[in-house]
Amino acid sequence: MQNKLTGNYLQWKVVLTFCLLILTGCTSKPKDDPAEEKQDQQSSAPPVSSKSKVLVEGWPKPKLAIVLTGEQHGYLEPCGCSETQSGGISRRADLFRQLREDKQWAVTGLELGGTLKRSRKQDQLKFGVLYSALTDMGYQAMALGPSDLKLQVDYLFSLVSNSVDPETKLPFVSANVVFYNTPDIGSPAHFRVIEIGGVKIGVTAVLGKKYGSQIFPEGNNSASDLLKVEDPVKSLQPAIAELKKANCELLILLSHSTKDETKAILKAIPDFDLCLTAGGPEDPSGVPETFGDTLVLEAGRKGKYAGVLGYFPDDSKQRFRYELVDLDKKRFRRTPEMESHMAFYQELLREQKIVENEPAVPHPSGYSFVGTETCSVCHTKATAQFKTTKHAHATRTLNHGAENYTETEWISRLHDPECLCCHTVGWNPKEVFRYESGFLNMSQTPHLIGQGCENCHGPGSHHVEMENVFKQSGKSTEEIVQARNEMKLDVATAEKQVCRKCHDFENSPKFDFAKYWEKTIHRGKD
C-alpha cells in the first residue's frame, strides 16, 4: 500500500495528523431534512435530458461547463457498497475527464457542501481526503454545510486558512459563516471570482438559518466564539456589490438552505443568474426551476448525481442547458487518481487505528460476543450450513473484494468502520459503532470474522454460560430456559428488524427476503 502514497498524499498525512491532534470529535448524527414542496416549473426553464443514455446528448459546445454537486453525506463510493448503485468520486472524476478530454470543453466544479454524514474522527480524515480529491478534479469553490462545520473550526481553518488568496485552488466560500468571530480572517472567503473559458464568474454562498441551527446547542448561533452564522440576506448584500464591481458575467449562489429559504433569499436579492440549492429530494427530477430571474438547480444527495450546466451566451433562446447526470456504472468507470485517494484514505484509517481508538459501547443486553466457533460446539449442523453461505465469508470480501470484482485493483477495507459494521461480528450497522466485545482486527479478534451467528441472535456469552451450567448439573432451570429463548429468532423478526440493518436499499438494492432466507436458513442442534 505504501508505494501508492505519492508526495502529495504524504503532505496530506502530515496536515491531517496535525489537525487531529487539535480536535475533539462529535458523534451527533445530523437529522434528515424534510422534503420540500415542489415549485411549479416555469416556462422559462431550459430543457433537460436527465434520463438520456448519452452524456449531454445533442448539446453544441458551450463556452464553459460547470459541474455542480452537494449533500454527499459521506458517500465516497457508489451509494452504499453495491456496484450496481450510482455515484462515487471515482466515477465523478471520469465525468470531468469525459467533458474535458473527450469533448474538449472548458470545465470547472462548484461544491455545495454537506459532504459528511457524521462528525467523528473518521469523518475528519474523510473530509481531508475528499477535499484533496475535489481539488484534483478542478473544483474552484466549496460551500460548507452543517455536517462539515461540525468538524470544528480549528480543523477546517488548519486545512484552508486563506480562502481569499487566488493561489488557493479550492477555497471555502460563505458570505455568512464566520470563523473565530473575525469576518475578515481569510477563510471562508465571502465570495470567489473565477475565470474560465473567457468568462468571469462570481460565486458566493450562504448557510440557511434552519441548517445553521443544527450546528449549535438549542439552535443558538451566538453560542460559540469559534463559529457564527449570520443573517444570509444581510451578509449577501456586500458580497453581491463586490462581485458587480468585478464585472462578473455570471453570478452564482450556492445556497445550503431549504428550498423555501432559498426562495426567500432570491426574492430579497434577485441578482443571481444561477443558484444551486440544498433541501430537495435525494433523487431530483433534474428539471430546473426559476425564482424570479434566477435559474434554481438541484444535484440530489449521496453523490449519486452531478449536475452539468452548459453556458451558451450567444444563444438568445437557450442561454443555459442543464443535465442531471446519473453516475452509473455503464457510462462511467473508476479512475486511477481517485482510487489512489481511496487507498490513501484506507491507509489513514489503519495508521490512525480508528477502529481501535474510537470509543466502544456496552451491548444493551449486557452480554459479550463469543464467536461462531464457540456456537459450533453445540450447533454443528447449523454451523455447517452457515459456512456454505456468503455471510461466513463477509470479512474476506473486505480484504480481497467480491468474487467477480475486476474493475480496478481492490483496496482493502479491513480498517474501515463503515465497512466492518456489516462484515464482522459485534457492531451496530446503522449507527456504525463497535460494541465493547466486538471485532477489532484480524490479529486480536479472529474469532469474530464473518457475518456470524451473534449478529442475528445476539451476543452469546450468557447462553454459553448457562449451557455449561446445564452440562454440569443436568438440570434445566428457569434461567437456562430463558437464556435459550433469548437466542431464538423467528422469521418475522428477522425480516423486519434484523436483516435490513445491513441489507438496506443502498447496500443491497436487490434484496428479496424470501429468496435470501432460503439460502441462509440453518436449522438444527446436535
Query: For the segment 403-436, what is each residue's pLDDT rounded down to a tens digit?
Result: 777 778 899 999 999 999 999 999 999 999 999 9
* CA angle (407 as vertex; 402, 412 as ends), nearest 5: 50
pLDDT score, position 24 = 35
Using the predicted structure, report yes or no on whether residue 321 has a pLDDT greater than 90. Answer: yes
pLDDT score, position 17 = 43
Percentage helix, strand, coil, to 5, in the chain?
Answer: 35, 15, 50
Tell me the angle at which helices 121-137 and 336-351 cross, rounded to the nearest 10 degrees.
160
Looking up cell 429468532 gives 489
Cα 400 to Cα 392, 395, 408, 414, distances in angstroms: 14, 9, 12, 10
Using the predicted structure, report yes or no on whether residue 151 has a pLDDT greater than 50. Answer: yes
Task: Determine the residue type at 308.
Answer: V
**How far apart, in whole angstroms, are the C-alpha atoms of residue 246 and residue 225?**
32
Using the predicted structure, report yes or no on whether residue 4 has a pLDDT greater than 80. Answer: no
pLDDT score, position 525 = 62
* Model confidence pTM above 0.75: yes
Q: What confidence category does residue 12 fall into, taking pLDDT thresholds of 50, 70 and 90?
A: very low
**How far apart, in whole angstroms, are the C-alpha atoms of residue 310 and residue 55?**
12
Domains of the chain: 2-34+63-339 (3.60.21.10), 366-520 (1.10.1130.10)
What residues have CB less than 8 Å from 76, skipping those under 6 apart? 88, 89, 126, 129, 130, 303, 342, 345
* CA angle (370 as vertex; 368, 374 as ends), nearest 5: 150
Pick the range with the lowest mean pLDDT from 30-44, 84-98, 238-252, 392-406: 30-44
Query: For the segment 436-470, what is each residue's pLDDT rounded down to a tens digit?
Result: 999 999 999 999 999 999 999 999 999 999 999 99
Contact between residue 187 and residue 157 where contact means Cβ atoms under 8 Å apart: yes
Query: What's the mean pLDDT in 274-289?
Result: 95
Using the predicted structure, report yes or no on whether residue 43 has a pLDDT greater than 60. Answer: no
DSSP code per residue over 284-323 = -----EEETTEEEE---STTSEEEEEEE-TT-SS-SEEEE
Q: What confidence category does residue 519 fall into, taking pLDDT thresholds of 50, 70 and 90?
A: confident
Task: Determine the residue type at 283.
Answer: D
Query: What's the mean pLDDT in 274-280?
Result: 96
**How far apart, in whole angstroms, are the C-alpha atoms of residue 501 and residue 484?**
24
Neighbours of 252 (CB within 10 A): 27
C-alpha cell belonging to residue 176: 455568512
Query: What's the mean pLDDT in 332-351?
Result: 97
What single-letter DSSP state applies at residue 30?
A: P
Omega before 171 within 30 of 0, i.e. cis: no
Neighbours of 63 (CB within 10 A): 17
Query: For the segment 302-313, what is each residue's pLDDT rounded down to a tens digit?
Result: 999 999 999 999
Contact between residue 312 and residue 321 where contact means Cβ atoms under 8 Å apart: yes
274-277/294-297 β-pairing: parallel
Question: Between the CA atoms of 205, 210, 211 and 213, what dihedral angle is there, to the nearest 10 degrees?
Answer: 120
Contact between residue 214 and residue 146 where contact means Cβ atoms under 8 Å apart: yes
Quote the mean pLDDT of the chain: 89
Q: What confidence category does residue 348 fall into, taking pLDDT thresholds of 50, 70 and 90?
A: very high
What residues have CB less than 8 Å from 384, skipping those under 6 apart? none
320-326/64-69 β-pairing: unpaired
48: phi then psi, degrees, rounded to nearest 5: -140, 145
What single-letter DSSP state applies at residue 61?
A: P
Tell me the angle at which helices 7-21 and 121-137 cross, rounded to the nearest 10 degrees.
140
Using the predicted structure, report yes or no on whether residue 509 has a pLDDT greater than 90. Answer: no
Q: What confidence category does residue 331 fall into, taking pLDDT thresholds of 50, 70 and 90?
A: very high
Query: What's the mean pLDDT in 107-133?
Result: 97
Sign for the CA dihedral angle at 220, 223, 227, 233 comes to positive
Kindly tell me the burial class for residue 235, based on how many C-beta atoms sit within 10 Å of its own C-beta (0-12, 13-18, 19 or more). buried
The span from the first CA to the last CA of the chain, in angstroms, equals: 45
Query: What's the mean pLDDT in 104-113?
Result: 98
**How far apart, in whole angstroms, are the C-alpha atoms of residue 447 and residue 455?**
13
Task: Determine the residue type at 186.
Answer: G
Looking up cell 486563506 gives 162
Contact between residue 22 and residue 154 where contact means Cβ atoms under 8 Å apart: yes
Q: What confidence category does residue 14 fall into, taking pLDDT thresholds of 50, 70 and 90?
A: very low
Among 273, 270, 358, residue whose Cα is nearest residue 320: 273
Query: For the segment 476-502, what is each residue's pLDDT rounded down to a tens digit?
Result: 999 999 999 999 999 999 999 999 999
Using the predicted structure, report yes or no on whether residue 142 has a pLDDT greater than 80. Answer: yes
